[in-house]
Amino acid sequence: MALETTRDLFERELGKLYHAEHEILDLHGDLAEAATSEDVRDLFSGHREDTIEQIHRIEAVFEAIGAEPEQHGSSLMEGLLAEKDEFVTDVRTDELRDIGVLRIGTLNERIEITILDELLLLAADLDLSEEVAVNLEANRTEANDALSGMQMFFERERTTR
């Protein structure tokens, strides 16, 4: 996809986020399965509804800018999924499982937050409608909350080891 305008970039990044959220539906299921403790498992399986809601908000953004929702695959997301596969294959002890699962979860939220930060800046530059910013901000707030939740668990796993 040739990038020539700010609008091109906005659409590409939005498509990337849209694709990432679809991958996350499976990713969180895999992380929940790979986790040892019930708490960590629940943390990831509980995110499914949020992710579906986030996908709907991204679709609302596409609609607000008059574009068809289109997923844009990215090597960033492929890398994260490959990292997850490698970890799940290699991990041998239960105590390492939760730590690794939480690390991959936080990486994922940080990717989402970074793309959302970028989209919000681009939306402001492009003077897009309020609806665009409201939806993107709602997704960013949820991603930030999810990140804090995972960091809390991460800290707890670390101190109870």
Which residues lie closer than 8 Å to 80 by C-beta, 6 or more apart?
27, 104, 107, 108, 111
CB of 139 to Fe ion, least distance (A): 7
Q: How many residues bind Fe ion (CB under 5 A)?
A: 1
The encoded tokens of residue 65 equal 């800018």
Q: What's the min distance (Å) between Cβ of 49 and Fe ion? A: 11
φ, ψ at 153 (rounded to 5°): -65, -40
| Contact present, 42 and 153 (Cβ < 8 Å) | no
Closest CB 47 distance from Fe ion, rounded Å: 7
The piece of 9-17, 38-46, 52-60, 88-96 that touches Fe ion (CB under 5 A) is: 52-60
Task: Give the Å distances, CA to CA, from 90 to 53, 86, 111.
Answer: 33, 6, 24
* Binding range to Fe ion, per CB under 5 A, among 1-9, 29-37, 51-59, 125-133: 51-59
- Binding region for Fe ion (CB under 5 A) out of 3-11, 48-56, 77-85, 91-99: 48-56
Q: Does 54 interact with Fe ion (rule: CB under 5 A)? A: yes
User: Which chain residues interact with Fe ion by CB under 5 A?
Assistant: 54
